Chain A
Amino acid sequence: MSLGLSLRHGGDTITVCVSGDIDLRTAAQLEDAFAGQTGGSAATVVVDLTEVEFVDSAGINALLKGQRGAQSHGQAFRISGTRPLVRQVLEMTGVWDLLSGHER
């Protein structure tokens, strides 16, 4: 099983569109994809999760690492298009506000 990954450029934002389950088996693939965008010309990295139905703790770690990498290069990083199932996992793990950009 692997993730579907595609890139969309618009203005100073690059959107990483992900499809599939982000879990133990696919988290490394996502981390590689983020590493490829980190430090690029885009001011904001958006991760579109519309086509993602499942995220486990390894997947959350991949998203957090992606955000940390982007921020260390002065880039903003947030997720979008989250389905209810994925959103609930992120909320219960306490990372929803951080990853979605809805800071308290």
Chain B
Amino acid sequence: MTDDVLHTDAGTHLRRLQAITDAALSHLGVEDLLAELLERTCDLLRADTAAVLLLDSSGTELVVTAAKGLEEEVRQGIRVPVGQGFAGTVAARAEPVAVERLHPTDVVSPVLRAKGLASMLGVPMISTGRLVGVLHVGTRTTRRFGPEDIELLRLVADRAGLAAQARTSRLDRATAVALQRSLLPDRLPSVAGLDIAARYVPGAEVGVGGDWYDLFALPSGHVGIAIGDVAGSGLHAAVVMGRIRSALRAYALETLDPGDVLTRLDRKVRLFEPDAMATAVYAVLDPARAVLNVSSAGHLPPLLVHPDRPAAPLAIRPDLPLGVDPARPRRVVTTGITAGTGLFLYTDGLVERRARLLSVGIEALLAALRPVPSDEMCASAMAALLHGHTATDDVAVLAVRTIG
């Protein structure tokens, strides 16, 4: 008799495991996989509801992403703060929580409350050591969840956590690439009297990052030329980059003084992106294409490619990067430009290597720059600096040459 019970228990256990680890599930998309997992979980645990909540990018709120018996939660985009309610408590403790007799105040979601659940069991979803979400089940009749139920739900949480994490990082990457492409057009505007070319290469290790460039003609006939780098990588860096780039355009319309533009940008970054640090060079070319005013917020020195002598860095002392201390004054360097002179701007990914002085990389870049059309200038710089080297960081370059 005892033997029979054990046998049945073991058999049930095995069936439960198979239902969750079923290889056929791998062929489903993430949404279908989560739905199928929740369906099977409800069956196995004889539960009335099941839900997956994922931690949002701020790490402070859980968002209901998939649900069985609680579909309304997904439609309403229910969010539960970490530390509050049932799911929030599971997230805050990062361990399983079982409640046999649920009190209405235990619950944040109005949908969950209206469901009249008596008992709940929740487990944290952990992926690569970090909390990514919460999985919970509920029953309308009072139920005591045992260690086996917890173990099973943990198994489901592992499977769901991996799938959800894969989806998030894939979405983040795709979104960052789309954002970067929309902000860094392959074709720059054509501006009278200028030959312009640019390149952007995502880093092998970091993917899309926060590098950007921009060039625009102003109503006064001046031309604004910018390049910058937001520290960090991925979607967040790309989003901050997009904001900085459009804010710079807005300030460029208000003043022709590049130091003033960077000071205003600095204030904006400091206030609205308090965790961000970004470097940038902003240069303003006069309508006659003969005088260039340049200011640098902690960015690598712009290079001047002369028609009649070797290329050289612009003599400019960088001021603080953006987002550090907007109260400090910014310097502006003025330089005369003869016809046929090229301005070459780049980000650190092009010249920075471990165990090599930055100045050595810049020297190598200078040696590769000749007074040739801008597109050729970009090509030879990329070839010289990135040949046989897979860029770990992202790389952006912008070349502008006055046509004499």
A-to-B contact residues, CB < 8 Å: 21, 24, 53-54, 56-58, 60-61, 64-65, 84-85, 88-89, 92-95, 98
Are A94 and B275 in contact (CB-based, < 8 A)?
Answer: no
The reply on B352 being an interface residue by CB < 8 A is: yes
The answer for the CA separation of A61 and B275 in the assembled complex, in Å, is 8
Interface size class of B (residues with CB under 8 A): 20 to 34
Q: A94-B296, A94-B321 are in contact. Are A56 and B352 (CB under 8 A)?
A: yes
User: How far, in Å, is B389 (CB) from chain A's closest CB?
Assistant: 16
**In this complex, what residue of A is CB-closest to B203?**
A24
User: How far, in Å, is B234 (CB) from chain A's closest CB?
Assistant: 10
The reply on B41 being an interface residue by CB < 8 A is: no
User: Within 8 Å CB of B318, what residues of A?
Assistant: 92-94
User: Within 8 Å CB of A94, what residues of B?
Assistant: 296-298, 317-321
Q: Give 9 A-B contacts (CB < 8 Å), ordered by A residue.
A: A58-B231, A61-B231, A61-B277, A65-B275, A84-B357, A85-B355, A94-B297, A94-B317, A95-B320
User: Within 8 Å CB of A53, what residues of B?
Assistant: 354-355
Q: Which chain B residues numbered 213 to 244 have a C-beta less than 8 Å away from chain A?
A: 229, 231-233
Q: Which chain B residues numbered 337 to 375 have a C-beta less than 8 Å away from chain A?
A: 348, 352, 354-359
Q: A56-B348, A88-B357 are in contact. Are A93 and B232 (CB under 8 A)?
A: no
**In this complex, what residue of A is CB-closest to B318?**
A94
The reply on B324 being an interface residue by CB < 8 A is: yes
User: Within 8 Å CB of A88, what residues of B?
Assistant: 357-359
Contact of B277 among A21, A54, A60 (CB under 8 A): A60
Extra pairs beyond A94-B297, A94-B318 (12, CB < 8 Å): A21-B354, A58-B231, A58-B232, A60-B277, A61-B277, A64-B277, A93-B299, A93-B318, A94-B319, A95-B298, A95-B324, A98-B320
The reply on B300 being an interface residue by CB < 8 A is: yes
User: Within 8 Å CB of B300, what residues of A?
Assistant: 92
The answer for the CA separation of A95 and B321 in the assembled complex, in Å, is 8
The answer for the CA separation of A89 and B356 in the assembled complex, in Å, is 11
User: Within 8 Å CB of B276, what residues of A?
Assistant: 61
The answer for the CA separation of A22 and B134 in the assembled complex, in Å, is 33
User: Within 8 Å CB of B298, what residues of A?
Assistant: 92-95
